[in-house]
């Protein structure tokens, strides 16, 4: 008896290889990918790497996402397989097998698939983990050797996670077999299907939700708000897509059917009515494919853009190799003296390291947070916050610094100012009244400014004002205090320079300057202060690349997984529809449709079903684009053209791959459909 | 006037993976007059379905000719075959073969839509036909919502809506209960009396006893035929039953 279960289970799997093979491959692939991510995140390679923590966190996140996704996806495919097998179970039941025996067969099947896919998946993961490691190392700008490391902890973790998933799948299968009456299953496939009823309300709701999501995506300007509403928009898009695909499509077909003149035409008649059924059955599947595609596209576009833009944003954040900066309480002779001491200390240390500063950058800024409301700007802390104003960071710099650093000459009257705003903001007001200071006429906008530093990733918009008479504008602000008497604005001073040293030398220099700064003592008035610090690009870049490269790596790996999941769903859809269409194909031929007409009609339906998700995903992506742009600003990537290019490229590459999948799976579909012999009836 | 002329039709299937060729038909000849109601009987595997597929131009004979209404089916161009089938032939099948994605109305209209008829003209033809067949109030229903007998009447309506020269029926009562069978046979008789030529392949002696002539096929050859003459249905039924007994007990060819 035991041998019989095994033979039945393996026999069924061999006979239904068209269904089982992709399923097993999917299990293998998911297991392998999970193992790779787990092995990388637990591996020793990251321990030696500065910024490895960030990468590890990102990889852990990836593992979690993959685990949840695997569970959902394998349940979906398993349910699909189960539906196909019900008829066979019914037959076994008629032949005298009880439910216990059927469960025995299922047990054999489940356990063997689980063992095969876990062991095979880990093996597959081992084979590819070195390649993945090299890719990661390359993305992160690290070095590694070519030794193959076997990570036992990751293996156990993978086996445990997928063991549990397969156990759940098995329990679900057994439950299904136990719950249903196999005799009725024998007939289940040929049972009449209810015609789709158009649910116009749901269709309308779907359109409204999607419209709302699109509106949110397009209208939000502020990155922080964008971050909050991003998830709302995602959920709205998902709901809207499902509703539209499931109800909207059927409703559309029904409307077309009501239009007699359109409907009763040879090329519309069959397509429209079959589409209604097809969409009823496949709406949810297609919507899932669409969501998966959108996820792949958004993830790839943004992570690729981040990765390519990472050097740029590193340069923006750290405009020079060494950055010495200080916050000052005032700008009198004592502070000037302190700054001179800082300057000397930095230059002396540099000389002692045998390096020469070059490309020097030095400037002053007045910094304050202000509430802006139209033309008025109140320094935060002086007045209670009211809902209608918006928090901005204000930076005021002497025009002379701007001219010196950019090499431009700008002619401004005493009450005029040149401005620059981050996050792509534009000032609409012509004048700006600073609290306690003069009204400034906005004379123009600077295209870009030499150094942004921290402000690259400031969540509030930052407004730079370049004024001819710095003291007159800045000093009144400096005098403002809150109710406790502490100052609300301060002066920042920055000195940056490059050297001709290697990364290693730069980091040594950085250490030296840090120590020198600690040793410095300033002679200052009681209410003033000088807080100095030093930053080094070389010291920061690994963390930078680790974050951006890590996100990119994760984007690519998860993108691959989602893509293959979408491909598999499409494949299952194609072959299951192939069997359904086969009978229909035969009848149509008998009532006088030519093979060419049938082929054309089926072709157009298959094309619609296939490319609808991709085109919808493209549309989603278009609307997600402005939102993505705002979000990337938070990461310091502001290159609109770059995001545009990467998005377009990702979509093109994706469309190409999708079309290849279409060619391959529609081949399988036509093989099934044209298996209809002329004489079979 | 002769409407259908079948001359020396042979059909040989060559198995795809070698092996001996199978002769499904070994030279069948017969003809049918306009307005005749011909039943073809024979056991499973006798070649009935092959013959019907050849008459329907779904399959081509290995040798011999089929002439319908003066037109040689073998000479129709491949791209005209579908149009020919649509315009000259009507089909009724054992399994009804209604498309489950269409309402009854759309199923019936299918051949007309395929022939690119204007929507107005379709209604004109549909209305009297469905009233005659008693399915006028089922039009908006889907096949899964109606009974087997109703499905078969809808299928008959689909076959007749093009006013075909020949109605081909393949085991039309095979999936019906006895009441629905009686109704369908009565319907066929009425349609035939109105001038419709019918050719029906069947197992059922009862179904065959409604025809005006019965052909018997055995092992791919025409074995025997009986005319009704002035016999009533019961008498004809007995004659057919006798002939069948002869056929199965292996009598000599008539």
- Interchain contact, A681 vs B93, CB within 8 Å: yes
Q: Is A277's Cβ below 8 Å from some Cβ in B? A: yes
Q: At what angle do helices A537-590 and A52-94 cross, to 10 degrees?
A: 20
Hey, is A255 helix, strand or coil?
helix
pLDDT in tens, A417-470: 888 888 777 888 888 888 777 788 888 888 777 777 777 667 778 888 888 888
Are A9 and A133 in the same domain?
A: yes
Q: Band the pLDDT of A1: cuts 50, 70, 90.
A: low
If one compares A598 and A496, the residue with the highest pLDDT of the two is: A496
Range scoring the smallest mean pLDDT among A52-56, A384-388, A474-478, B93-97: A384-388
Nearest to B53 among A587, A588, A678 (CB): A678
Domain for residue A546, yes or no? no
**Separation of alpha carbons A265 and B127, rounded Å:** 19
**Closest to B91 (Cβ–Cβ): which among A194, A265, A591?**
A591
Of A191, A219, A236, the residue at which a domain comes to its end is: A191
ipTM score assigned to the predicted complex: 0.70
Please report residues of A whose CB lies closer than 8 A to that of B47. none
End-to-end CA distance of chain A: 38
Q: What is the domain extent for residue A657? A: 194-320+551-681
Local structure of residue A248 (DSSP, 8 states): I
Structure-block tokens of residue A276: 């209604």
- Inform me whether the C-beta atom of residue B114 falls under 8 Å from chain A C-beta atoms: yes
| pLDDT more than 90, % of chain A | 12
Percent of chain A with pLDDT over 70: 94
- A333-346 residue pLDDT tens: 788 888 888 888 88
Q: Looking at the structure, do residues A399 and A270 belong to the same domain, yes or no?
A: no
Same domain, A479 and A460: yes
Tell me if B85 and A192 make a contact (CB, 8 A cut-off): no
Total residues found in chain A within this entry: 681
The CA distance from A103 to the nearest CA of chain B, in Å, is 33
The secondary structure of A418-473 as a DSSP string is EEEESTT-----SEEEETTS-EEEEEEE-S--S--GGGGG-SS-EEEEEES-HHHH
Residues 6+ apart with CB under 8 A from B80: none
Cα–Cα separations (whole angstroms), residue A563 to A59, A292, A293: 19, 7, 7
The Cα B16–Cα A591 span in angstroms is 28
pLDDT (0 to 100) of residue A185:
59
Among chain A residues, the shortest Cα distance to B96 is held by A587
Interface check A584 vs B, CB under 8 A: yes
Alpha-helical regions (H) of A244-332:
249-258, 260-263, 266-317
| Res A97 pLDDT > 80 | no
Put the strands of the sheet holding B166-170 in their side by side order: B89-93, B166-170, B197-202, B37-41, B213-218, B221-227
Question: Whole-angstrom Cα distance, residue A122 to residue A125?
Answer: 5
User: Do the Cβ atoms of B160 and B108 come closer than 8 Å?
Assistant: no
Cα–Cα distance for residue pair A129/A552, rounded to 1 Å: 17
Structure tokens at A392: 């901005």
Residue after which a domain boundary falls, among A191, A208, A230: A191
Ranges assigned E (strand) in A70-228: none
A314 and A337 both lie in a single domain:
no
CA–CA dist B251, B254 (Å, integer): 9
Cβ neighbour number for residue A65 with a 10 Å cutoff: 15
> Does residue A60 carry a pLDDT above 70?
yes
Whether A245 and A393 map to the same domain: the answer is no
CB-CB under 8 Å, A274 with B119: no
CA torsion B231→B233→B235→B241, rounded to 10°? 120
Cβ burial of A351 (10 Å; 0-12, 13-18, 19+) is exposed
Does the pLDDT of residue A678 top 50, yes or no? no
User: What value does the mean pLDDT take over residues A404-424?
Assistant: 84
- Asked if the model's pLDDT at residue A122 lies above 90, the reply is yes
Is there a contact between A269 and B50 if contact means CB atoms under 8 Å apart? no
- Dmax (CA) for chain A in angstroms is 105
Secondary element (H or E) of residue A339: helix A333-352
Range with top average pLDDT, A159-173, A264-278, A355-369: A159-173
Structural domain includes residue A500 = yes
| 3-state secondary structure at position B202 | strand
Q: Inform me whether the pLDDT recorded for A191 exceeds 70.
A: no
A190 interfaces chain B, CB cutoff of 8 Å:
no
Asked if A172 and A206 touch (Cβ cutoff 8 Å), the reply is: no
Max CA distance (Å), chain B: 56
Please give the distance of CA A130 from its chain centroid, rounded to a whole number.
25
B79 part of contact set with chain A, CB < 8 Å: yes
Same domain, A400 and A372: yes
Coil/strand/helix, residue A674: coil
Best to test chain A binding among B73, B81, B101 (most A CBs inside 10 Å): B101
Kindly give, in sequence order, each residue whose CB lies less than 8 Å from that of residue A135, ignoring residues fewer than 6 positions away. A553
Q: How many helices (H) and strands (E) does chain B have?
A: 8, 10
Residues A423 and A370 in one domain: yes
pLDDT reported for residue A681: 30
Would you state the structure tokens that stand for residue A152, as one six-digit string? 């036992």
Q: What is the pLDDT of residue A652?
A: 93
A501 and A586 part of one domain: no
**Helices (H) then strands (E): counts for chain A:** 18, 10
With 0-12 / 13-18 / 19 or more C-beta atoms within 10 angstroms meaning exposed / middle / buried, residue B149 is: buried
Indicate the pLDDT class of residue A117, thresholds 50, 70 and 90. very high
Q: Residues A614, A525: one domain?
A: no
| pLDDT value of residue A261 | 81
Q: Structural domain tally of chain A?
A: 3
Q: Residue A675's pLDDT is what?
A: 62
Angle in degrees, CA A372, A373, A377, rounded to 5: 45
Say if A288 falls within a structural domain: yes
Name the domain boundary from A174, A191, A208: A191
For residues A161 and A64, the answer to whether their CB atoms sit within 8 Å is no
A-B contacts at Cβ under 8 angstroms: 92
In a domain, A57, yes or no: yes
A677 pLDDT higher than 50: no
pLDDT at residue A183, rounded to an integer: 61
Helix (H, G, I), strand (E, B) or coil at A496: strand
Interchain contact, A591 vs B158, CB within 8 Å:
yes
Whether the CB of A473 is below 8 Å from some CB of chain B: the reply is: no
What pLDDT score was predicted for residue A676?
43
Pairing of strands A416-421, A376-379: unpaired
Residues of A with Cβ-Cβ distance to B97 under 8 angstroms:
586-587, 590
What's the 3-state SS for B47-59?
Answer: CHHHHHHHHCCCC
Identity of the residue in A591, A597, A679 whose CB atom sits nearest the CB atom of B59? A679
- The lowest-confidence range among A553-562, A667-676, B90-99, B227-236 is A667-676
Residue A91 pLDDT > 60: yes
Cα dihedral across residues B45, B48, B49, B53: positive or negative: positive
Residues paired with A285 in a beta bridge: none
Q: Model pTM? A: 0.74
Average pLDDT over residues A634-652: 84
Query: Is B14 part of the contact surface with chain A (CB cutoff 8 Å)?
Result: no
Q: Are A29 and A137 in contact (CB under 8 A)?
A: no
Distance from CA of A188 to the nearest CA of B (A): 14
Same domain for A327 and A305: no
B83 with A594: Cβ contact below 8 A: yes
Smallest Cβ distance to B100: which of A193, A588, A593? A193
CB-based contact (8 Å) between A414 and chain B? no
What does the pLDDT average to over A477-485? 76
Distance CA A495, CA A361 (A): 6
pLDDT at site A212: 93
Residue linked to tokens 């800045």 = A474
B164 interface with A at CB cutoff 8 Å: no
Dig out the tokens for A95 from the structure. Answer: 């032949």
Residue B253 is given by DSSP the state P
With an 8 Å Cβ cutoff, is A187 touching chain B? no
- Name every chain B residue with its beta carbon within 8 A of the beta carbon of A593: 82, 86, 114
**What letter would DSSP give residue A520?**
-
- For helices A503-519 and A333-352, the axis angle rounded to 10 degrees is 140
To the nearest whole number, what is the mean pLDDT of chain A?
Answer: 82
pLDDT of residue A54: 78
The answer to whether residue A146 scores a pLDDT higher than 80 is no
A640 belongs to a structural domain:
yes
pLDDT, residue A123, reads 92
Give the 3-state DSSP-derived string for A159-189, with helices as H, strands as E and coil as C: HHHHHHHHHHHHHHHHHHHHHCCHHHHHHHC
pLDDT of B232 reads: 87
In the numeric block, the tokens 């993959």 are attached to A66
Chain B residue closest in CA terms to A266: B114
Q: pLDDT tens per residue, chain B (254 residues)?
A: 888 999 999 988 887 666 788 888 888 999 999 999 999 998 877 888 888 888 888 888 889 999 988 888 888 887 788 788 888 888 888 888 888 888 899 889 888 888 888 888 888 889 988 888 888 899 988 888 888 889 989 999 999 998 898 999 988 888 888 898 999 999 999 999 989 999 999 988 999 999 999 999 888 888 888 998 888 888 999 999 988 888 877 655 54
Strand partners, B9: B28
In this model, does residue A282 exceed pLDDT 90? no
Are the CB atoms for A519 and A356 separated by under 8 Å? no
C-alpha–C-alpha distance, residues B99 and A591, integer Å = 11
Cα A257 to Cα A272: distance, rounded to the nearest angstrom: 7
Are A192 and B158 a contacting pair at CB < 8 A? no
A94 and A122 inside one domain? yes
Looking at the structure, do residues A164 and A41 belong to the same domain, yes or no?
yes
Give the nearest chain A residue to B102 (CA atoms): A273
């Amino acid at each position: 008896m035991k041998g019989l279960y095994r033979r039945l289970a393996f026999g069924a799997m061999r006979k239904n290889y068209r269904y089982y093979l992709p399923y097993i491959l999917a299990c293998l692939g998911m297991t392998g990918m999970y193992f790779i991510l787990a092995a990388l995140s637990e591996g020793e390679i990251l321990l030696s790497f500065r910024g490895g923590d960030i990468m590890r966190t990102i990889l852990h996140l990836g593992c979690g996402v993959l685990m949840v996704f695997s569970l959902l996806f394998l349940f979906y495919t398993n349910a699909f397989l189960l539906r196909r097998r019900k008829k066979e179970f019914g037959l076994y039941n008629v032949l005298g097998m009880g439910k216990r025996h059927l469960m025995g067969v299922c047990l054999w099947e489940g356990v063997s698939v689980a063992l095969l896919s876990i062991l095979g998946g880990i093996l597959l993961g081992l084979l590819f983990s070195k390649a993945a490691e090299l890719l990661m190392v390359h993305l992160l700008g690290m070095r590694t050797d070519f030794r193959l490391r076997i990570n036992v902890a990751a293996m156990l973790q993978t086996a445990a996670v997928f063991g549990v998933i397969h156990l759940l799948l098995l329990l679900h299968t057994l439950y299904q077999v136990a719950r249903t009456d196999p005799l009725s299953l024998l007939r289940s496939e040929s049972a009449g299907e209810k015609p789709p009823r158009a649910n116009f309300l749901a269709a309308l709701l779907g359109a409204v939700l999607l419209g709302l999501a699109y509106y949110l995506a397009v209208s939000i300007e502020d990155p922080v708000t964008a971050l909050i509403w991003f998830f709302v928009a995602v959920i709205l898009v998902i709901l809207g897509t499902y509703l539209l695909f499931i109800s909207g499509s059927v409703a559309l077909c029904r409307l077309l059917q009501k239009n007699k003149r359109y409907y009763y035409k040879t090329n519309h008649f069959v397509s429209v009515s079959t589409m209604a059924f097809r969409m009823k059955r496949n709406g949810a599947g297609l919507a899932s494919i669409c969501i998966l595609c959108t996820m792949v596209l958004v993830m790839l576009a943004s992570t690729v853009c981040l990765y390519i833009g990472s050097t740029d944003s590193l340069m923006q954040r750290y405009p020079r190799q060494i950055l010495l900066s200080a916050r000052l309480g005032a700008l009198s002779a004592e502070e000037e003296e302190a700054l001179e001491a800082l300057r000397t200390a930095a230059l002396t240390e540099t000389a002692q390291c045998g390096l020469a500063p070059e490309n020097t950058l030095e400037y002053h800024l007045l910094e304050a947070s202000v509430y802006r409301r139209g033309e008025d700007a109140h320094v935060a802390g002086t007045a209670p916050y009211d809902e209608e104003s918006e928090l901005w960071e204000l930076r005021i710099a002497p025009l002379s610094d701007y001219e010196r650093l950019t090499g431009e000459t700008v002619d401004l009257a005493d009450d005029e100012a040149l401005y620059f705003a981050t996050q792509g903001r534009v000032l609409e007001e012509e004048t700006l009244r600073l609290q306690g200071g003069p009204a400034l006429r906005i004379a123009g906008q600077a295209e870009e400014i030499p150094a942004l530093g921290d402000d690259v990733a400031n969540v509030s918009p930052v407004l730079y004002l370049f004024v001819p008479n710095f003291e007159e504008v800045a000093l009144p602000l400096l005098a403002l205090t809150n109710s406790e008497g502490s100052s609300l604005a301060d002066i920042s001073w920055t000195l940056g320079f490059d050297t001709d040293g290697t990364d290693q030398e730069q980091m040594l220099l950085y250490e030296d300057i840090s120590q020198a700064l600690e040793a410095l003592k300033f002679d200052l008035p009681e209410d003033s202060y000088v807080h100095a610090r030093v930053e080094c690009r070389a010291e920061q870049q690994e963390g930078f690349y680790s974050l951006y490269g890590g996100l990119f790596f994760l984007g690519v790996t998860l993108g691959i997984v989602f893509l293959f999941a979408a491909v598999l769903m499409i494949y299952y859809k194609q072959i299951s529809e192939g069997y359904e269409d086969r009978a229909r194909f035969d009848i149509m031929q008998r009532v006088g449709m030519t093979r060419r007409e049938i082929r054309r009609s089926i072709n157009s339906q298959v094309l619609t079903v296939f490319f609808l998700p991709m085109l919808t995903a493209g549309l989603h992506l278009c609307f997600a684009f402005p939102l993505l742009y705002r979000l990337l600003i938070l990461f310091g990537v502001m290159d609109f053209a770059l995001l545009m290019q990467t998005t377009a490229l990702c979509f093109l590459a994706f469309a190409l791959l999708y079309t290849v999948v279409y060619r391959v799976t529609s081949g399988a579909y036509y093989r099934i459909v044209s298996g209809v012999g002329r004489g079979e009836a | 006037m002769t409407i259908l002329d079948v001359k020396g039709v042979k059909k040989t299937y060559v198995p795809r993976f070698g092996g001996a060729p199978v002769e499904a038909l070994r030279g069948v000849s017969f003809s049918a007059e306009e307005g005749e109601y011909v039943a073809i009987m024979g056991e499973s595997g006798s070649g009935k379905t092959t013959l019907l597929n050849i008459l329907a131009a779904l399959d081509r004979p290995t040798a011999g000719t089929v002439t319908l209404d003066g037109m040689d089916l073998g000479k129709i161009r491949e791209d005209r075959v579908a149009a020919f089938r649509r315009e000259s032939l009507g089909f009724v099948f054992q399994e009804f073969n209604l498309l489950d994605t269409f309402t009854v109305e759309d199923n019936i209209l299918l051949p007309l839509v395929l022939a690119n008829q204007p929507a107005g003209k379709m209604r004109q033809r549909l209305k009297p036909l469905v009233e005659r067949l008693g399915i006028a109030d089922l039009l908006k229903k889907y096949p899964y919502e109606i009974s087997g007998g109703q499905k078969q009447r809808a299928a008959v309506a689909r076959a007749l809506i093009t006013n075909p020269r020949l109605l081909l029926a393949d085991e039309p009562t095979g999936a019906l209960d006895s009441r629905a069978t009686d109704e369908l046979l009565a319907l066929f008789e009425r349609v035939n009396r109105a001038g419709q030529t019918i050719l029906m392949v069947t197992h059922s002696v009862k179904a065959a006893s409604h025809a005006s002539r019965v052909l018997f096929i055995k092992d791919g050859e025409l074995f025997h035929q009986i005319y009704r003459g002035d016999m009533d249905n019961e008498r004809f039924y007995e004659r057919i039953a006798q002939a069948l007994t002869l056929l199965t007990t292996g009598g000599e060819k008539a």
